[in-house]
Amino acid sequence: MNTFKPKKSYKRGYPVAILAGLEETHAVLWKVFSKVVKPEEALSIDGTRSNPKALYNFHEAIINVLRPTLKEGVGSIIIASPARTNYTQEFVNHIRQHHAWLTQGPNKATFSEITGSASTQSQVAALTRTSEFHKLISQTTSEETENLLDLLEKRLNTSNRRDAVLFSLEEAENLILKRHKPGRPKPEYLLLTDKYLLGTHQKNRLHRLMQIATNKQVKTRIVNAESSAGKRITQLGGIVCITHLE
């Protein structure tokens, strides 16, 4: 996995996870794509870790940076911190105490930790070349897609007509591209496999739909076709739109 800046955005691939590098005085967040890792934002602690208020505000600032990516549908978060520190545990404890929505319910995120620093391009490049990192990415995203599979199966098997699953690009377009009307199903997730994305002859059309879906805060997720969730989505045609009536 390289950390070079691509000349064109499509070369970065699709979003896979978020990497958060925690240090004593700062944190750097990165977006992990299937082909590249890109810096998201750097944050500094206003004070010291021994000051509870400063540490609380620091962790809240990290959460605020995570929110937009989480809303896009990326729910795999890898936390990196140096050996013999408790930075990761402090952050996870903060999440459990103040942001239960990140660890509970159908939209929960999946957290994993790795020992190492991820503050600079060179550190991230070294980290992402390790077999441990690739194994962690696979495990974390697999757990996340299992959560998506659970949600999909619940919607498929529900007797409540307020929920529905759409099974084609055309149906997803008809719902997502149109203005949402009160009382009508609202798109919640747009899920497709990486093989569907790679094999479609309508890439421009699909990318336009995915961009508009993201702009409308529809969680968009590209799933590994070999995962259990990916195999299920493939059975359903390779793309599904999960809807909900509020």
Mean pLDDT of 21-39: 95
Instruction: Give the whole-number percent of the chain exceeding pLDDT 70.
Output: 92
Does residue 198 belong to any structural domain of this protein? yes
Mean pLDDT computed over every residue of the chain: 88
Separation of alpha carbons 97 and 79, rounded Å: 18
| Three-state secondary structure call for residue 33 | strand
Do both 132 and 166 map to the same domain?
no
Two structure tokens written together for 6: 């691509």
Residue of 73, 230, 240, 244 lying closest to 170 (CA atoms): 240
Report angle CA 71, 216, 221 to the nearest 5 degrees: 50
Predicted confidence at residue 208, as pLDDT, reads 93
Q: In the listed set 87, 117, 142, which residue is the last one of a domain according to the structure?
A: 142
CA–CA dist 219, 69 (Å, integer): 9
148-202 pLDDT, tens per residue? 888 888 888 876 655 689 999 999 999 999 887 777 788 999 999 999 998 999 9
Task: Note whether 52 and 133 are same-domain residues.
Answer: yes
What CATH number is associated with residue 64?
3.30.420.60
- Both 18 and 138 in a single domain? yes
**pLDDT one-digit tens code per residue, 76-115:** 999 999 999 999 999 999 999 999 889 887 668 889 999 9
- 127-155 burial, b at 16+ Cβ within 10 Å, e below that, comes to bbeeeebeebbeebbbebbebbbebbeeb
In a domain, 122, yes or no: yes
Q: What is the average per-residue pLDDT within 37-63? A: 97
- H or E element that contains 166: strand 163-166
Indicate whether 90 and 166 sit together in one domain.
no
Q: Show which of 142, 170, 188 is a domain's final residue.
A: 142
- Count structural domains, the chain: 2
Residue 5 has pLDDT above 60, yes or no: no
Per-residue pLDDT at 147 exceeds 80: yes
Q: Which domain holds residue 184?
A: 158-244
Sheet holding 239-244, edge to edge: 163-166, 239-244, 186-193, 219-223
